[in-house]
Amino acid sequence: MKKTMSGFAAAVAALVVAGSASAQVCAGFPTTDGQGTLGAFANFPSDFDQYGAEGSYNVTGPLALNAGFIFSKDESDDLNTIRVGAAFDVGSMLGGMLPGISICPNVRADYTSESGVTLWQVPIGLGFGATLPVSGPDMTLTPYVIPALVWQRISAGAGLTETETEFGIRGGADLNFDRFFLGGQVEWVNGSGNDAVFGVRAGIKF
């Protein structure tokens, strides 16, 4: 969707605290090996409503996959977006350079089509996350931040196509209660008139 490097640096510094790494917190999902999630979210961009459902699965090993569906609506129009993503955890390969931190290159693709107009948005980024104890072994906080280059392409038929690449960043934090989690998220893509988009989400782990 349509926060600066200093803000990113501060966010990363905030993550580098004592805590155990959860394998795919760096991808924005509070899962460990062999664990999946199902959840729902609501975002609050300017001038329209946005709701979605998402799921993820952390394959045993460094790979994790995720997918989702987003419904956006204003007073006159609505849009449907399909989302897929993948992440590859490299924290263990770095030999403890950032103890307690989950690190993963990740990619996500959002595809929207309506009335002959299509939009692709593909963030390619590097995520950082951590799992922090809050109160007892069954309650944890999992903050994450993912700076990315965001490739975007909009096509309106008859050869009308525009492609651009911008800097973007997304992040958030989830409070985990054993198998349940809830949290907040924010996403921003550089560009004229683009504001940060805030949202909330909740889900279960299985």
In CATH terms, the fold of domain 5-205 is Porin (2.40.160)
pLDDT confidence of residue 181: 97
Model confidence, pTM: 0.84
**Domain boundary assignment for the chain:** 5-205
pLDDT confidence of residue 138: 81
pLDDT confidence of residue 192: 66
DSSP for the chain?
Answer: ----HHHHHHHHHHH-SS-BPPTTGGGT----TT-EEEEEEEE--TTSEEEEEEEEEE-SSSEEEEEEEEEEE-SS-EEEEEEEEEEE--GGGGTTSSTT-EEEEEEEEEEEEETTEEEEEEEEEEEEE-BEE-SSTTEEEEEEEEEEEEEEEEE-STT-EEEEEEEEEEEEEEEEETTEEEEEEEEEE-STT---EEEEEEEEE-
pLDDT confidence of residue 24: 80
pLDDT mean values, one per 10 residues, the chain (206 residues)? 40 37 78 94 90 96 95 87 96 72 95 90 96 86 97 87 95 95 96 87 97
pLDDT confidence of residue 96: 65
